[in-house]
């Protein structure tokens, strides 16, 4: 997947594409996979890197959403549970099941959560993961050895899916590419264009790397820009009513010893009514999240002090060792592209279901939903796009479409597990160049070969692409990522033909972004 080659293909394309998808997050890339695998001619443009938006900043759960049961959204939960099962089936190298323990400190919690979790398990039907059950006090302590013991009565265990969000996204980009889609990162869509009747017929875009502007036409333009949805809609119609109510959520990352063992903790009801997760992830612990309404979306959201304090103090109530600011290895924020609803008081209460909307100009928008349901959202969207663009009906084939790198026993691949079948290719690279087998930092498992691989085969263009989304260094340990950056830049220099000035610019840009992941 070479950017220059794909770019040349885009420039030489004759006539309109069947679909242009704007936005390279889970939603847009899901649409590109669906459309290309049905045989439609698709172009996807991403203004930054694939997954730069919310899709690299989630809680990393492939889940039905236990908390939506409480909101009575059974249909949404059942759909998401089915998609969770399909994700595990089609991407076993990137998704796995995980036990979640709900500790009980009140007498009523065991029967209450026990029943709810049983229902959650039953709703999954044939797509079920492990069986939920109640735990005695001793069993709870066995699963969560560091949990606060005072007042602990017992617990309940249930199973959900966990994944590496941006790694899955990169493998989805590769899948879409293999199915025939053209996908390019660092191309910003600046506006939509219209035909003589005022109907959307394409986009104006700008190659962020060269600054060059260009126009591409399409039978349907699909807006999959997440939290930026309304910005693009308003280039078609400046008076368009807003659809998105953005809400920020943050996570803090700690060393694994804050939660040893293999189970995650789910706190269904924190002091302010939110759900809190503490999850083992890539040999670290991820704790989150918050739900804070914000006025406008940015590509680089920053955690607020109040959010950090809330997570630190709440996590302290459930972990024997109370975490402090000094224990935080990384903090990251993401923005939920929630769909507005009249009369709903808080963003936490807004539905997580997706919406497909067609503006009078013919611009199609897909927004809301969850990472877990991207495939279902894409199927729904492409069905409607085919009708809108009079493209001729073609059936969806993604239910059984394997994601690039498909590998059933990734644990055999050691630290390269997330690459699936590509792990063998990375090993070959190391055999040919032994120095690439060295690690980039003593505190993280990433090897130099992964940097070269990311540039050559995964369209990584910047130091940040490598440290934030091809590897997850920045999300796991921001200080280590900053220390790794010069070596990463040295490895990228010959691959991308950078001179010393470009290298320096890359490093200072990375340091600026990484500062938002550090707690000062
Ligand atoms: C804190 C948090 C935790 C979450 N946890 C989970 C979870 O555990 N499980 C789950 O299933 N879901 C979870 N979600 C929800 C999930 O992450 C989102 O629903 C999903 O990632 C949204 O994907 P998207 O593609 O719509 O948006 P994004 O990932 O934001 O993608 C939109 C893309 O559009 C690009 N773009 C914008 N404007 C333009 C333009 N003009 N030209 C070109 N490109 C443009 C942006 O750069 C961006 O990359 C979570 C969300 C948050 C915020």
In the prediction, which pLDDT does 392 show?
A: 94
Burial of 432 (0-12, 13-18, 19+ CB in 10 A): exposed
Q: How confident is the model at residue 347 (pLDDT cuts 50, 70, 90)?
A: low
In the prediction, which pLDDT does 351 show?
A: 63
From the CA of 21, how far away is ligand 1's center (Å)? 14
Residue 331 above 80 pLDDT? yes
* pTM tops 0.85, yes or no: yes
From the CA of 455, how far away is ligand 1's center (Å)? 23
Query: Is any ligand 1 atom within 6 A of the Cβ of residue 32?
Result: no
In the prediction, which pLDDT does 348 show?
A: 60
Which residues, including other chains, have CB under 8 Å from residue 241's CB and lie 6 or more apart?
A: none
**Tens digits of per-residue pLDDT, 400-420?**
999 999 999 999 999 999 999
Query: Is any ligand 1 atom within 6 A of the Cβ of residue 290?
Result: no
Angle at 377 between CA 188 and CA 131, to 5 degrees: 130
Percent of the chain with pLDDT over 90: 80
Tokens 């602990």 sit on residue? 152
Three-state DSSP class for 284?
Answer: strand
From the CA of 287, how far away is ligand 1's center (Å)? 19
Atom of ligand 1 nearest to the CA of 352: 19
In the prediction, which pLDDT does 274 show?
A: 80
Is-contact 200 27, C-beta < 8 A? no
Percent of the chain with pLDDT over 70: 97
In the prediction, which pLDDT does 244 show?
A: 92
Query: Is any ligand 1 atom within 6 A of the Cβ of residue 60?
Result: yes
Indicate the average pLDDT of the chain. Answer: 93
Residue whose CB lies within 8 A of the most ligand 1 atoms, among 60, 370, 374, 469, for a mutation test: 370
Cis upstream peptide for 185 (omega within 30°): no
**Tens digits of per-residue pLDDT, 144-162?**
887 888 889 999 999 999 9
From the CA of 323, how far away is ligand 1's center (Å)? 29
Question: How is residue 383 written in tokens?
Answer: 């069905």
Query: Is any ligand 1 atom within 6 A of the Cβ of residue 224?
Result: yes
Atom of ligand 1 nearest to the CA of 247: 53
Query: Is any ligand 1 atom within 6 A of the Cβ of residue 54?
Result: yes
**Tens digits of per-residue pLDDT, 282-300?**
999 999 999 999 999 999 9
């Amino acid at each position: 997947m070479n950017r220059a080659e794909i770019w040349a293909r885009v420039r030489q394309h004759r006539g309109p594409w069947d679909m242009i998808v704007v936005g390279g997050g889970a939603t847009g890339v899901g649409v590109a996979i669906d459309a290309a695998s049905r045989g439609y001619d698709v172009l996807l443009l991403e203004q930054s890197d694939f997954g730069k938006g919310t899709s690299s900043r989630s809680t990393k759960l492939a889940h039905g959403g236990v908390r939506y049961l409480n909101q009575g959204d059974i249909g949404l939960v059942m759909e998401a549970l089915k998609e969770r099962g399909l994700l595990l089936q089609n991407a076993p190298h990137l998704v796995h099941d995980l036990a979640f323990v709900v500790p009980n400190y009140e007498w009523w919690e065991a029967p209450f959560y026990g029943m709810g979790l049983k229902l959650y398990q039953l709703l999954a039907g044939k797509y079920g993961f492990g069986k939920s059950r109640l735990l005695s006090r001793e069993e709870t302590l066995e699963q969560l050895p560091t949990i606060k013991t005072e007042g602990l009565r017992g617990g309940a265990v249930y199973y959900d899916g966990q994944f590496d969000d941006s790694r899955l996204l990169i493998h989805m980009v590769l899948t879409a590419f293999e199915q025939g889609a053209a996908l390019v990162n660092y191309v910003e869509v600046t506006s939509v264009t219209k035909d003589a009747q005022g109907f959307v017929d394409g986009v104006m875009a700008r190659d962020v790397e060269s600054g060059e502007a260009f126009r591409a036409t399409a039978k349907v333009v699909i807006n999959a820009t997440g939290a930026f949805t309304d910005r693009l809609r308003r280039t078609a119609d400046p008076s368009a009513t807003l659809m998105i109510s953005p809400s920020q959520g943050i996570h803090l990352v700690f060393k694994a010893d804050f939660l040893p063992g293999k189970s995650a903790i789910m706190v269904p009801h924190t002091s302010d009514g939110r759900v809190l997760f503490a999850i083992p992830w890539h040999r670290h612990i991820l704790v989150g999240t918050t739900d804070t309404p914000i006025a406008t979306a940015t590509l680089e959201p920053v955690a607020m002090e109040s959010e950090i304090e809330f997570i630190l103090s709440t996590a302290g109530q459930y972990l024997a060792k109370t975490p402090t600011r000094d224990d935080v290895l990384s903090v990251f924020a993401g923005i939920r592209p929630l769909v507005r609803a009249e009369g709903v008081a808080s963003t936490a209460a807004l539905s997580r279901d997706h919406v497909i909307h067609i503006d009078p100009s013919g611009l199609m928008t897909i927004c809301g939903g969850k990472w877990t349901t991207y495939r279902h959202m894409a199927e729904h969207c492409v069905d409607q796009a085919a009708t809108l663009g009079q493209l001729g009906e073609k059936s969806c084939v993604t239910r059984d479409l394997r994601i690039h790198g498909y590998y059933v026993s990734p644990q055999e691949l050691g630290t390269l597990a997330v690459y699936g079948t590509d792990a063998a290719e990375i090993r070959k690279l190391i055999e040919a160049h032994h120095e690439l087998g060295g690690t980039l930092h003593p505190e993280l498992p990433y090897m130099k070969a992964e940097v070269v691989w990311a540039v050559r085969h995964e369209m990584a263009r910047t130091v940040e692409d490598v440290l934030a989304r091809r590897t997850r260094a920045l999300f796991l340990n921001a200080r280590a990522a900053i220390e790794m950056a010069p070596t990463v830049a040295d490895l990228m220099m010959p691959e991308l033909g950078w001179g010393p000035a470009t290298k320096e610019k890359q490093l200072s840009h990375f340091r600026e972004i990484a500062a938002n992941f550090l707690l000062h």
